[in-house]
Amino acid sequence: MRAMPTSVVCPNCWSWSELGQRTTCKRCGAQLVFSDGRRVDEIAALTGVLPGSPIAEGAYAAAAPGWMKQQVLVAPARQGVDWVDVARWVVIGYGLLTVAGLLLFGLVFQHISVTVLNPRTGAYTSETLNIGAAAVLVAAVAGAVFALMAWLTQFTIARVIFLMLDAIAVVGTLTQVGTLLQPGGIGIVGLGTLAMNMIWGGVLAMSIFASAPRAN
């Protein structure tokens, strides 16, 4: 069996020394740790062998598997809903829907006719534009923006800013009730956008004000 490392270090002073009879640092009183991260006092309590004992090195080495198992058993486990992860997945889902919608729009309405004014003759003419490439470019930019937002969601300040922007977007949408009540695609898109914004806002609020409980 591999011998227990006898060099110990103070995590505050970063001063190394050989294992003696102390479990605390002489300078600051912090608990000493071995080079592999195990605290001397925890190993001593687990084995019942004092650091200065002649059998300390062998007893500490033999206690290594038990110490690892004990640490796993007492490690705090997260319970409940992790609203930060939920908010991140809502952003990802929102982004995928947006990108898919832009690509579908560019595919279905790849060629559109627009009426333009000829500055030379003053007459209106109809021109056909290919917006397929533009739709792909816009979808790529939108995907990158949503990916950045999903990454920033882990930070509280970013979620606060996103919640404020989402509230502004919801209020702005509600002020245009006529658009939401229009039949056809425009009304469906408006209602869908409003629903997504409200869901995202609710999840963001929960990620800011609600914390998942942890087991003792």
Task: Average the pLDDT over 35-47 and give the result.
Answer: 75
Q: Does the pTM exceed 0.75?
A: no
Q: Own/partner pairs for 150-153, CB < 8 Å, 24+ apart?
A: 150/88, 150/91, 150/92, 150/95, 153/84, 153/87, 153/88, 153/91, 153/207
Give yes or no for a contact between 83 and 212, defined as CB atoms under 8 angstroms apart.
yes
User: Closest Cα partner for 196 from 178, 164, 173?
Assistant: 173
pLDDT value of residue 215: 39
Is it the case that residue 214 has pLDDT exceeding 80? no
Distance CA 200, CA 22 (A): 54
Annotated domain spans of the chain:
7-74, 83-209
Give yes or no for a contact between 147 and 88, defined as CB atoms under 8 angstroms apart.
no
Distance CA 92, CA 161 (A): 17
Task: Average the pLDDT over 202-208 and give the result.
Answer: 89
The span from the first CA to the last CA of the chain, in angstroms, equals: 34
User: Closest Cα partner for 56 from 1, 3, 11, 16?
Assistant: 3
User: Closest Cα partner for 84 from 143, 146, 145, 150?
Assistant: 150
**Cβ density class 29-43: b for 16+ within 10 Å, e for less:** eeebbbeeebbbebb
Task: Average the pLDDT over 1-16 and give the result.
Answer: 67
Task: Average the pLDDT over 69-92 and give the result.
Answer: 69
Give yes or no for a contact between 197 and 169, defined as CB atoms under 8 angstroms apart.
yes
